[in-house]
């Protein structure tokens, strides 16, 4: 259903390759004039997407500092016909996160130092650390003990509804959290379990095995996760101990006999905005998203 870019070492090769693809590609083929042109087209297609997502990620960092919801801003901007609809997120995989480096490496060999492409790459490469640090900040706000705490991450593949874990940036989140002494549990029914063990020595858990958690991160919005209700997540969290109201201050929602009955300390990090922010906050979650 997508036009295929094809090329060959000479006109005869190109004609043969194009005719073979035309047998199975309903959308047709585009005959590039050389293999270099075809390869360059593939590289800039992924580089362009990488740069656009990097722009969204940078906006998310800025808007979070301003106390503005990025998703709300993008929804408003998306009403304009000429606005390109990209969203912030973790950029990994074996194409978008890698192809820009092919291009900039070749450019360096030719004596040109890339500015825009590498700037976008740096922003996207740092997003895993940013998500982890934002998680820790929310946990501190929720009066969580960081060292020795437990965090569950839902989704570890490099994109949704795909078993591929190659170059997944969720690993950056995991590694950064572990630097804080946090125990990380992974839930991902889609990920290739053999590749996950071979590449990262990780054995995923089932969602029903997740208990006594201090924070939950939804890193990849798999279709399987979209049936999960906010209410059902609550049983996964560590039960908050009653604390003297004087110590809790405004974080106490109800106070009886000097003890906190209910506290807003269920940290929910929704990287791609899978849940409704207002609903989550009304249910008492300490909610954050890109």
Query: How far apart (Å, rounded) are the C-alpha atoms in residues 156 and 143?
Result: 27
CA distances from 255 to 84, 118, 242, 252 (A): 48, 53, 10, 7
162 carries an active-site annotation: no
Strands 285-288 and 266-270: parallel
Q: State the Cα torsion 159-160-165-169 to the nearest 10°.
A: 40
Query: How far apart (Å, rounded) are the C-alpha atoms in residues 220 and 160?
Result: 6
Query: How far apart (Å, rounded) are the C-alpha atoms in residues 236 and 216?
Result: 9
- Helix or strand run (H / E) with residue 227: none
DSSP assignment letter at 34? S
Residue 185 pairs in a beta bridge with: 152
Query: How far apart (Å, rounded) are the C-alpha atoms in residues 27 and 249?
Result: 62
The residue annotated as part of the active site, out of 40, 95, 230, 283, is 95
Known catalytic residues are: 95
């Amino acid at each position: 259903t997508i036009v295929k870019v094809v090329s060959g070492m000479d006109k005869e090769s190109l004609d043969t390759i194009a005719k073979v693809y035309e047998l199975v590609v309903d959308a047709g083929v585009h005959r590039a004039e050389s293999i270099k042109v075809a390869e360059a087209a593939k590289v800039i297609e992924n580089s362009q997407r990488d740069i656009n997502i990097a722009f969204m990620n940078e906006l998310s960092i800025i808007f979070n500092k301003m106390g503005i919801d990025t998703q709300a801003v993008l929804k408003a901007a998306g009403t304009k016909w000429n606005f390109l609809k990209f969203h912030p997120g973790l950029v990994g995989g074996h194409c978008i996160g890698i192809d820009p480096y092919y291009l900039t490496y070749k450019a360096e060999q030719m004596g040109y130092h890339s500015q825009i492409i590498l700037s976008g790459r740096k922003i996207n490469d740092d997003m895993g650390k940013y998500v982890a640090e934002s998680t820790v900040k929310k946990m501190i706000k929720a009066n969580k003990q960081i060292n020795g705490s437990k965090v569950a991450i839902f989704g570890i593949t490099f994109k949704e509804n795909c078993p591929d874990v190659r170059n997944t940036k969720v690993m950056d989140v995991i590694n950064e959290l572990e630097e804080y002494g946090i125990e990380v549990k992974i839930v991902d029914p889609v990920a290739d379990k053999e590749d996950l063990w071979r590449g990262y020595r990780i054995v995923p858990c089932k969602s029903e095995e997740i208990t006594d958690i201090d924070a939950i991160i939804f890193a990849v919005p798999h279709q399987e996760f979209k049936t999960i209700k906010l209410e059902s997540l609550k049983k996964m969290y560590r039960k908050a101990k009653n604390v003297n109201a004087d110590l809790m201050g405004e974080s106490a929602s109800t106070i009886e006999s000097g003890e906190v009955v209910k506290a807003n300390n269920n940290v929910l990090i929704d990287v791609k905005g899978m849940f409704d922010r207002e609903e989550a906050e009304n249910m008492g979650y300490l909610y954050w998203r890109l």
